[in-house]
Amino acid sequence: GVTLGGDRSKGTLVDVGLSQNVLVEQIVEQGKRVTVAMGTNRDLTPACVRKVVPQSSPSEEMGSYWGYKVRYASNLSGVINDSPYKVLLVRLL
């Protein structure tokens, strides 16, 4: 979701793409991208406070795909040479 701000004494409102924004208990700067643990409770009222969790939580805890990461490369060789992942290159003749 994207943080919207709100009443800082209660937490931060977050737009998670549903019919209503949700309230998280943490105070987070407006305009930040966050991952919110929604649980199984479908209650979207402000009385049901959620938590911001690490971006890796859905992947690690449930094995779910949870988006991608983008990085800047100054040139094409930098895409491969500076990759944090092992890259297998196959040269076709």
Q: pLDDT tens across 7-62, in order?
A: 777 889 999 999 999 999 899 999 999 999 888 877 787 778 899 988 888 777 77
Q: Which of 18, 81, 82 lies closest to 48, judged by CA?
A: 18
Is 73 inside any structural domain? Answer: no
pLDDT of residue 30: 93
pLDDT of residue 68: 73
Is 27 inside any structural domain? Answer: yes
Is 63 inside any structural domain? Answer: yes
Q: Structural domain tally of the chain?
A: 1
Is 92 inside any structural domain? Answer: no
pTM, full prediction? 0.65
Is 20 inside any structural domain? Answer: yes
Mean pLDDT of 65-75: 79
Domain extent at residue 39: 2-67
pLDDT in tens, 73-87: 889 888 888 887 776
